[in-house]
């Protein structure tokens, strides 16, 4: 099957999330108490990451510097299943760090000075581009789209392979013959003045179609017939949220649709809907990964992606008037039911803290042969989930002792429990919290999965 190829400038994006309740004594600026740090590929890297969530065999042609941030960026991409084809680079990896409090961006710090070097393209790059079913150009003004070698091969391919070009005010103009060019309304104003005339841009760029995106107001399409067509955002998908990455989601969705044989208008309609869903479901934050922290000393009973004690984190959040949600369990072989419960639990408040049964506790509950995974490994897997803010391990059969310290506002359990059946419910309520029971996903059980795996392994051994 032919591959979807993303080409453009990549960077490392970092979000520092916390709360701001006081001013610094040194200057009238807010002090941010950090709750967690998240990271993700940015620019063309984010476009490739988003593509890889729905497509197989995604290829990214980009420049990544040989430094710590570049290696981290490369690792995030390859872990997501993206095949990275590097271009020669000078300088250091571009990083963009957003500092946010309660979902609001307060400051962005930009660093890095990396830029691509003009050299003949490697054979694997030209082969990937020539064999693509569609090409998405994510221009972030970093220089990739200005390389003569890149422009030459894209100009040759545009007449026969759908090319979707997401332009940038500091970037190079799209090559002639693009199937679709997708500036947002501010970029369109930059390119053609106050008129934001899509037909003028289409002629200027010799594009088959220009689509000017307008966030929650949808998009305007300008084709060769000179008429403008408005594509509205589907109402069920529209929601306010962090729009970081929405343009990348739009361009990738349009390229995917064109590569599958859709017409340009149908591709834009699909892309508008996809971008709206992307924002409504959390935007770029939903595809971010906790920033790795140093490994804890042997014997530590806390695994926390933010590097903080879960109890201290809960106290700080409560002092800010925020809602602390907690849940607990063995989580021995994480499955779809667990993920859904954790995501739903996180949506109930401002932070989710997961309490994990220790190895001894699991053995007492499940018998010899369990757990399959050590408690420290189960905790680390949970801590890597974007919806989890902290993890702690407890040794008792039930987590009453830890809940006495944690005092969550909401305690979540899954399944057919009644609150009265939970021995820890009394502790939660005594501290003013409530117990919420969320439905489980039918057909998913760690014990059943482990038994099935063991049975399958036995059959394989006998044949």
For residue 335, the tally of other CB atoms under 10 A from its CB is 16
Please tell me the predicted confidence (pLDDT) of residue 458: 40
Per-residue confidence (pLDDT) for residue 453, from 0 to 100: 52
Residue 263 to residues 256, 257, 259: CA-CA distances in angstroms?
A: 11, 8, 10
Asked if residue 118 and residue 64 are part of one domain, the reply reads: yes
Straight-line distance from the first to the last Cα atom of the chain, in angstroms, rounded to the nearest whole number: 34
Confidence of residue 441 (pLDDT cuts 50, 70, 90): low
Range of the domain at 244: 3-290
- Whether residues 82 and 121 fall in one domain: yes
Residue 462 lies in a domain: no
Of 80-84, 177-181, 396-400, minimum mean pLDDT range: 396-400
- To the query of whether residue 66 is one of the catalytic residues in this protein, the response is no
Instruction: Please indicate, yes or no, whether residues 267 and 401 belong to a single structural domain of this protein.
Output: no
What pLDDT was estimated at residue 295? Answer: 31
In a domain, 297, yes or no: no
Whether pLDDT at 304 is above 50: no
Give the CATH number of the domain where residue 357 resides: 3.40.50.620
Residues 157 and 50 in one domain: yes
Q: Compare 134 and 320 and report the one with higher pLDDT.
A: 134
Same-domain status, 191 and 272: yes
For residue 300, pLDDT beyond 70: no
Task: Residue 107: give its domain's CATH number.
Answer: 3.40.1190.20
Q: Are residues 200 and 323 in the same domain?
A: no
The answer to whether residues 276 and 424 belong to one domain is no
What mean pLDDT is predicted for residues 185-194?
84
> Nearest CA to 391 among 316, 267, 282, 307?
307
Residue where a domain stops, chosen among 256, 290, 324:
290
**415 vs 136, which has greater pLDDT?**
136
Q: Which long-range contacts (CB under 8 A, 24 or more apart) does 381-385 make?
A: 381/331, 381/334, 382/303, 382/331, 382/334, 382/342, 382/354, 382/356, 383/290, 383/303, 383/304, 383/305, 384/289, 384/290, 384/305, 385/339, 385/342
**pLDDT band per the 50, 70, 90 thresholds, residue 452:** low
User: Which 8-state DSSP code applies to residue 45?
Assistant: H
Q: pLDDT band at 138, cuts 50/70/90?
A: very high
Strands of the 351-357 sheet, one edge to the other: 302-303, 390-394, 351-357, 324-329, 410-414, 434-438
- Are residues 267 and 407 part of one domain? no
Q: Which of 129, 128, 179 is nearest to 151 (CA)?
A: 129
Among the options 35, 166, 248, 274, which is catalytic? 248
* Out of 15-29, 294-308, 428-442, least confident range: 294-308
Residue 41 is predicted with a pLDDT of 95
Averaged confidence pLDDT in the chain = 84
Residue 27: inside a domain, yes or no? yes
Q: Which are the contacts of 212, defined by CB distance < 8 A and separation ≥ 6?
A: 183, 184, 185, 188, 196, 198, 201, 219, 220, 222
Distance of CA 267 to the CA centre of its chain: 23
Q: What is the pLDDT of residue 161?
A: 97
Region 54-80: what's the mean pLDDT?
A: 91
Cβ-contact 174, 136 below 8 angstroms = no
Interatomic CA distance for residues 331 and 403, integer angstroms: 18
301 located within any domain: no
Per-residue confidence (pLDDT) for residue 192, from 0 to 100: 83
Work out the number of other CB atoms within 10 angstroms of the CB of residue 316.
20
Say if residue 224 is in the same domain as residue 330. no
Specify whether 253 is located in the same domain as 364: no
**Is 296 inside a domain boundary?**
no
Residue 151 has pLDDT above 60, yes or no: yes
Assess whether 126 and 177 both reside in one domain. Answer: yes
Of 24-38, 235-249, 295-309, least confident by mean pLDDT is: 295-309
- Asked if residue 302 is part of any domain, the answer here is no
The arithmetic mean of pLDDT across residues 43-48, rounded, is: 96
Residue 50 has pLDDT above 90, yes or no: yes
Note whether residue 461 is domain-resident.
Answer: no
Which tens digits make up the pLDDT trace of 194-235? 555 888 899 999 999 999 998 888 999 998 777 888 999 886
Mean pLDDT of 93-109: 88
Residues 6+ apart with CB under 8 A from 86: 62, 63, 64
pLDDT exceeds 60 at position 10: yes
Q: Is residue 66 part of a domain?
A: yes
Question: Could you say which of 260, 290, 320 is where a domain stops?
Answer: 290
Count the domains in the chain: 2
- DSSP letter at 175 equals P
Q: Does the structure show a pLDDT above 90 at 175?
A: yes
Digit-coded pLDDT (tens) for 229-285: 899 988 654 445 678 889 999 999 999 999 999 998 999 999 999 998 888 877 787
Residue 219 backbone zone (phi > 0: left; psi -120 to 50: alpha; other: beta): beta
Judgement on whether residues 237 and 109 belong to the same structural domain of the protein: yes
Which of 261, 290, 319 delimits the end of a domain? 290
């Amino acid at each position: 099957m032919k591959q979807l190829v993303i080409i453009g400038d990549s960077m490392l994006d970092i979000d520092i999330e916390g709360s701001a309740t006081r001013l610094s004594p040194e200057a009238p600026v807010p002090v941010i108490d950090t709750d967690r740090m998240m990271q993700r590929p940015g620019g063309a890297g984010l476009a490739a990451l988003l593509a890889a969530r729905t497509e197989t065999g995604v290829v990214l042609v980009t420049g990544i510097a040989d430094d710590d941030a570049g290696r981290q960026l490369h690792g995030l991409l390859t872990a997501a299943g993206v095949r990275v084809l590097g271009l020669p680079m000078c300088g250091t990896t571009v990083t963009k760090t957003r500092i946010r409090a309660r979902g609001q961006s307060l400051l962005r710090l930009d660093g890095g000075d990396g830029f691509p070097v003009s050299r003949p393209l490697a054979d694997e790059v030209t082969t990937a581009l020539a064999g693509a079913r569609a090409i998405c150009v994510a221009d972030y003004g970093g220089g990739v789209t200005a390389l003569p070698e890149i422009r030459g091969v894209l100009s040759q391919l545009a007449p026969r392979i759908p090319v979707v070009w997401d332009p940038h005010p500091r970037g190079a103009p799209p090559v002639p013959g693009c199937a679709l060019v997708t500036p947002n309304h501010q970029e369109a104003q930059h390119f053609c003045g106050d008129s934001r005339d899509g037909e003028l841009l289409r002629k200027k760029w010799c594009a088959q179609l220009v689509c000017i995106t307008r966030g929650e107001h949808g998009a305007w399409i300008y084709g060769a017939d000179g008429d403008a067509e408005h594509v509205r955002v589907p109402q069920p998908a529209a929601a306010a949220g962090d729009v970081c990455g929405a343009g990348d989601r739009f361009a990738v969705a349009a390229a995917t649709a064109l590569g599958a044989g859709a017409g340009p208008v149908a591709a834009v309609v699909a892309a508008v809907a996809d971008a709206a869903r992307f924002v409504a479901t959390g935007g770029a934050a939903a595809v971010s990964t906790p920033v790795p922290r140093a490994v804890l000393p042997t014997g530590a009973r806390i695994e926390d992606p933010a590097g903080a004690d879960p109890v201290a984190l809960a106290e700080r959040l409560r002092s800010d008037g925020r809602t602390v949600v907690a849940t607990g369990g063995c989580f021995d072989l994480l499955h779809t039911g667990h993920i859904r419960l954790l995501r739903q639990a996180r949506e109930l408040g401002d932070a989710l803290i997961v309490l994990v049964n220790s190895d001894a506790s699991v053995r007492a509950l499940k018998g010899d042969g369990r757990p399959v995974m050590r408690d420290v490994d189960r905790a680390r897997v949970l801590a890597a989930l974007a919806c989890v803010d902290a993890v702690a391990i407890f040794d008792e059969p039930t987590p009453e002792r830890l809940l006495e310290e944690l005092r969550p506002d909401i305690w979540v359990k899954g399944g057919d429990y009644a609150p009265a059946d939970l021995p820890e419910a009394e502790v939660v309520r005594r501290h003013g919290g409530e117990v919420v029971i969320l439905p489980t996903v039918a057909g998913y059980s760690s014990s059943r999965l482990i038994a099935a795996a063991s049975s399958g392994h036995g059959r394989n051994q006998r044949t």
